[in-house]
Structure 1
Amino acid sequence: MTLSWAQIVRLGLVQMALGAVVVLTTSTLNRLMVVEFALPALLPGALVGLHYGIQLSRPRWGFTSDTGGNRTRWIIGGMVALALGGMGAALGVTLFSYSFSLALTLSILSYSLIGIGVGASGTSLLALLATATAPERRAAAATITWLMMIFGIAMTAGVAGQFLDPYSPQRLLAVVAVITVAAIILTVLAIGRIESRVTFTAEPDTTPFLEGLRDIWAEPKTRNFTLFVFLSMNAYFMQELILEPYAGLVFHFTPGQSTTLSGAQNGGVFLGMLTVGIAATGLKLGALRSWVIAGCLGSGAVLALLCATGVSQTPFNLTYLVVALGFFNGMFAVAAIGAMMAQASQGRGQREGTRMGLWGAAQAIAAGFGGLTGAVMVDAARAFMPNGPAFGAVFAFEAGLFLAAAVMAARVMETTRGRGPVSLVPGE
């Protein structure tokens, strides 16, 4: 028995809850540290990098799913850990004005908990989705669940932004508490009894973890796709920790306005993903490789315009540029996700969770490294130039990474239609 469309949508609700909690820690809280508390961008960059670094455990979580672990338990338990980490991170931010050491200690513990929660819940959820979805539904299932996650991120950022103004520590804690509790409740209701209704006919794989991971890495398609994920996600996440501070320092956005800006960006991501989902998967217009390349090139072009807004006066509206950036980000991301879901079941059988974990770990490393690199570059540039050009220089570098990702996609991804099999090495 495979997942029905209704069950796929329910799994998408869990993805939506994950995104709703994570967006607060990676956008709103880091903006408060940099702007309201005048801390160096390196600090939130290091904290977010910590939670991504802990997600190196994703292959292990995926392997646990492959070898017969109770996925529902890890999905719910991971969400609880994520929610507790998100609440602790918000509390840690409010303590920076009282005790730096106490606030930093709590923040480190909280972001570590966030990494554990995302790794356990997110990887187990993707393993369930990849294993229990019928092959002909995998690309569409990936699109549905990621659209729901982006919708949750955009909706949370937009709604939270409205309630955060005028900013106060009490208001921040109240908003985060509501969101984290709602995420746990939604997860429990959405995931309930889905796994028990899906019958797996294959015996669990008992290969030792390291041996299984080596087998997966030896597959050319898996290895090449992993390298592409790492490069493209470095470009994707480099602006994550600096966009809201950019809006605050250069355009004088309030905390609520900059949080709403983050919601607008993710709204653009949603539209980009929806466009590719309808065009490539539904109407079968264009190959996945073409959508990936177009998304990377478009993202690079918008980042060049963002660079121009930081260097000099331009007629470009910041919000519109951010929405456009999100749109092109969504285009390349959902096409890559479609390839990922299709490839997860290729190669040696019963390794869907391990492959998803490997790609999740590559994304986590890239996200942490990219976000931290962007923050460090901004801090370094601000030491000898005004805020606008300093941020603009980082946006220009990120545009170059997207160009490199487009070139790599053209080299390693074969022309493949939306629902067909995916090959990542020409000729294979």
Structure 2
Amino acid sequence: MSKGTASEDVRVSAGLQVKAAPVSGGGGLTWLQIVRLALVQTALGAMVVLTTSTMNRVMVVELALPAIVPGALVAIHYALQMLRPAFGHGSDGGRRRTPFIVGGMAVLGLGAVGAAGATALMSTSPTAGILAAMLAFVLIGAGVGAAGTNLLTLVATHVAPHRRGPAATLIWIMMIAGFAVTTGLAGQFLDPYSPARLVAVTATVCTIAFVVSLFAVAGVETSGSASAANSAATAAKPAFRVALAEIWGEAETRRFTIFIFVSMLAYSAQDLVLEPFAGLVFAMTPGETTALSSAQHGGTVLGMVLVALAAPLLARRLPGILTGLCIAGCLGSALALGLLSASGFDPELIQELVALTPLVFALGLCNGIFAVAAIARMMGLAREGAKGREGVRMGVWGASQAIAFGLGGFLGTVAVDLTGQILGQNLGGAGSAYAFVFGAEALLFILSARLAFRAVTRPSAQPAPVRREPGPSSSDVVPA
């Protein structure tokens, strides 16, 4: 990845050179500042999980609504992620990103509380409640997009190269922690369930999360990061469509966007099919399948931690360590999914080779390795190409990831149903349907490994034609 001078970036647009000071001096963000920013991701995860998990269950179980209702509402949230490049563009050109983070968290909080109120309304007036929920999920999607994009861009542009791998791991793990802590505590306070209790718990969680995010970002992005050149940089910033066209004109950015989409499609497609597969094919109880899912998540976290530890230690001897870990994670995931696919046809044979739980743990381990290595590499790539476009670049990748996540979960379940109907009992019943789906995911991960090699190991493409004059040279540095 390209790294400019230790103390400044040179931003060039329309023939004008503008210098912008860093956030925390030449050394980048300190570990304390990185931890504080990771707390924002924890707060974001705490708000989101209530809407995608808790309210989902309430709509389907307590209110007896069709599963398509919460599914469509979550789809609205994912659809709004298409705006991520626009949110990133808004803070490019020398502007501070903190207001976008705080504003996004505020909108997200309002949307989450609104969604709880709308869910409560559904119990007495379903139509009005669903319409209100649609508006609330628009706010949720916009808030996640604005806060998430600018948080990752702030980290990407101000974390020193040797800290990007651990920083990516920390941010991801703390988001998962937000999910876990919130669902655990909220579950206790929601019993016995009532609409009023749902609104009260959601409002409390969102208030705490917003206050935490305020304290987390306070003073991290100092006034030095918004230098005296801000007005010139902002004036020189092109329109969003022009900036987006410039970014998409960068071959490396385009290749990495495709890699993110394909790999995250494979990653997310397994989420909603693994537990039903274990129950139908291996006759596991609900408690056993929950434990299986826990084993997968445990493997994912371990994979992330391994990347955080290995990358700094091996970076100097193996400068392409992140690329290698990313490819290895993809290929390992493909192998594990291939074995799961085989178990769909012959559960007894696969049990003789490797037990299901260790196999699923290995799948999670490889998923974690590839995911964090990809995110760390993404943080470095965000600073390549035309300067002053980091927000748009991160927004494009964030939109690609969000769309893949939304499609992956949906297509995975649809593929199981369709394949099962087509195959019927001819090739082993339900097990064969899951086998074909896992096999397709394995192929996607193999394709992802190839895309990763092409996307992050070739020399950086020249940024889109023009609007640029020669500036200080950059050395090619791979983050540890």
What TM-score, normalized to structure 2? Answer: 0.74
Partner of 2:286: 253
What is the Cα deviation at residue 179 of structure 1? 3.3
Bigger Rg, structure 1 or 2:
2
1:134–1:241 Cα change, 3 Å = same
| Pick aligned residue for 2:205 from 170, 173, 179 | 179
1:136–1:303 Cα change, 3 Å = closer
Partner of 1:289: 323
Structure 2: segments with no counterpart, 5+ residues: 1-24, 460-474
Amino acid at match of 2:444: L
Q: Distance in 2 between matches of 1:389 and 1:32?
A: 32
Q: Residue 150 of structure 1 contacts residue 269 of structure 1 at CA under 8 Å; is this kept in 2? A: no
Q: Which moved further from structure 2: 169-178 or 5-14? A: 169-178
| Pick aligned residue for 1:343 from 381, 395, 414 | 381
Is 1:57 aligned to residue 63 of structure 2? no
Amino acid at match of 1:228: F
| Pick aligned residue for 2:441 from 374, 391, 398 | 398
Partner of 2:220: 194
**Counterpart of 1:195 in 2: which secondary structure?**
coil
What is the Cα deviation at residue 126 of structure 1? 1.7
Q: Distance in 2 between matches of 1:167 and 1:396?
A: 42
Q: Distance in 2 between matches of 1:134 and 1:272?
A: 22
Q: Which moved further from structure 2: 292-301 or 113-122? A: 292-301
**Counterpart of 1:130 in 2: which secondary structure?**
helix
Q: Distance in 2 between matches of 1:388 and 1:28?
A: 30
Is 1:329 aligned to residue 331 of structure 2? no
Amino acid at match of 2:75: G
1:357–1:78 Cα change, 3 Å = same
Q: Residue 63 of structure 1 contacts residue 209 of structure 1 at CA under 8 Å; is this kept in 2? A: yes
Partner of 1:77: 103
Partner of 2:453: 410
Amino acid at match of 1:275: L
**% same residue:** 48
Partner of 2:21: none
Is 1:128 aligned to residue 128 of structure 2? no
What TM-score, normalized to structure 1? Answer: 0.82
CA deviation vs aligned residue, 1:232-273 (integer Å, no higher than 9, x gap): 11112223345567678875537xx98887666444322211
Q: Residue 296 of structure 1 contacts residue 402 of structure 1 at CA under 8 Å; is this kept in 2? A: yes
Give the aligned CA root-mean-square deviation in angstroms.
Answer: 3.7
Q: Residue 161 of structure 2 contacts residue 478 of structure 2 at CA under 8 Å; is this kept in 1? A: no
| Pick aligned residue for 1:163 from 166, 169, 188 | 188
Q: Residue 19 of structure 1 contacts residue 152 of structure 1 at CA under 8 Å; is this kept in 2? A: yes
Q: Distance in 1 between matches of 2:433 and 2:69?
A: 18
Spell out the pairing of 1:1-400 with structure 2 (5 A cutoff). 1=25, 2-30=28-56, 42-90=68-116, 92=118, 100-157=126-183, 159-160=184-185, 163=188, 168-169=193-194, 176-201=202-227, 203=230, 204-205=233-234, 206-242=237-273, 251-253=284-286, 265-284=296-315, 287-307=321-341, 315=351, 322-380=360-418, 390=433, 393-400=436-443
Number of equivalences: 418
Q: Distance in 2 between matches of 1:391 and 1:166?
A: 35
Partner of 2:7: none
Give 1 or 2: higher helix fraction.
1
Q: Residue 344 of structure 1 contacts residue 352 of structure 1 at CA under 8 Å; is this kept in 2? A: yes
What is the Cα deviation at residue 210 of structure 1? 1.1
**Counterpart of 1:413 in 2: which secondary structure?**
helix
Q: Distance in 2 between matches of 1:147 and 1:122?
A: 15
Q: Distance in 2 between matches of 1:34 and 1:392?
A: 28
Q: Which moved further from structure 2: 138-147 or 237-246? A: 237-246
CA deviation vs aligned residue, 1:93-117 (integer Å, no higher than 9, x gap): 5666665434432432232222111
Q: Which moved further from structure 2: 291-300 or 208-217? A: 291-300
Partner of 1:426: none
Amino acid at match of 2:252: K
